Amino acid sequence: MTLTPQTKARLRGAAGFIFDMDGTIALGDAKSGGHRALPHAIAVLEALRASGRPFVVFTNGTAKPPAAYAQSLRNAGFALDDSQMLTPSSSAAAWLGETGTGKVRVLGNPGCAAPLIDAGLDVVGPSQAADGVEAVYTGWFREFDFSALEAACHSLWNGARLVTASNVPFFATENGRAIGASFPINAMLTAMTRKRPRILGKPSKVAFDTAMKVMGLPRSAAKDMVVVGDDPALEMRMANAVGAMSVGLATGIIGSDAALPEKDRPSVLLADLEPLLQAL
């Protein structure tokens, strides 16, 4: 497909770019545990880097710390610094810090908890006995068990807030869609406590603002941002909510945009990244 001159101009003049990872620039490779670049993705990021335009990669995955994802993408051929890689735990650490939350029970694996520990938060293990827990944070946690459920429920009944990395049921992998771990965990916690999770990863404004801050851009530049992704309920919704340009890719979850509600509809839907590369 060809982009309109207006779309090309908006892409070329963008203040910064937020890219999704899985299904957008790369796919997880089950065999190696690493990533494989999607067509034109390496060239797109290289073009941005060469021209000095700010960009970050923001995955909603929390299985690994951001630096480990950055390394995996470098292994796949991308030129990317650790500081340009964000996960929901990056924005969660920022939000928990800003709200003065001290003690956090993390229902997540070590990669999920790492950014919170790095930010100096008092992190309590999934089923560790603890008083005074102010927030329960859920993320990638395939080891979830009944003792973690019980401990989290007690923290929530005792006043802790429920916050989560992500609350979508699926994400794209090389072998098709996979279950997002925090979604069913959140459903169980909500069923038991009636508390609904506050999302701190995509599509939240917390996630968008954290990305802007990392790129050194003011909030006033929100409308000049471009968000590129494959999930309508994550990247498109996040971009549309702040008036940024949403570029949808049909390589992952999105499929046809005909049935999407307006808030999740991309400004532009692309079959692959080539038109974006041409526009840059």
Sites of contact with Mg ion (CB under 5 A): 20, 22-23, 230-231, 252
99: number of Cβ within 10 Å: 11
| Cβ closest to Mg ion, residue 123 vs residue 236 | 236
Task: State in angstroms the smallest separation of the CB of 117 from Mg ion.
Answer: 26
Which of these, 261, 260, 209, lies nearest to 238 by C-alpha position?
A: 209
| Cβ closest to Mg ion, residue 151 vs residue 168 | 168
| Cβ closest to Mg ion, residue 54 vs residue 248 | 248
| Cβ closest to Mg ion, residue 14 vs residue 249 | 249
Contact, 41 vs 273, CB < 8 A? yes
Which of these, 4, 14, 48, lies nearest to 225 by C-alpha position?
A: 14
Task: State in angstroms the smallest separation of the CB of 251 from Mg ion.
Answer: 9
d(CA 237, CA 255): 15
* CB-closest chain residue to Mg ion: 23
| Cβ closest to Mg ion, residue 153 vs residue 247 | 247
CA distances from 127 to 33, 35, 112, 123, 234 (A): 28, 32, 15, 12, 30
d(CA 97, CA 81): 24
| Cβ closest to Mg ion, residue 128 vs residue 175 | 175
Task: State in angstroms the smallest separation of the CB of 25 from Mg ion.
Answer: 9
Neighbouring residues of 270: CB distance < 8 A, sequence distance ≥ 6: 1, 247, 248, 249, 250, 276
Task: State in angstroms the smallest separation of the CB of 234 from Mg ion.
Answer: 7
| Cβ closest to Mg ion, residue 104 vs residue 276 | 276
Task: State in angstroms the smallest separation of the CB of 169 from Mg ion.
Answer: 13
Tell me the angle at which helices 146-157 and 182-193 cross, rounded to the nearest 10 degrees: 50
Task: State in angstroms the smallest separation of the CB of 98 from Mg ion.
Answer: 27
Helix (H), strand (E) counts: the chain: 10, 15
d(CA 73, CA 90): 18
Task: State in angstroms the smallest separation of the CB of 246 from Mg ion.
Answer: 13
Contact, 278 vs 2, CB < 8 A? no
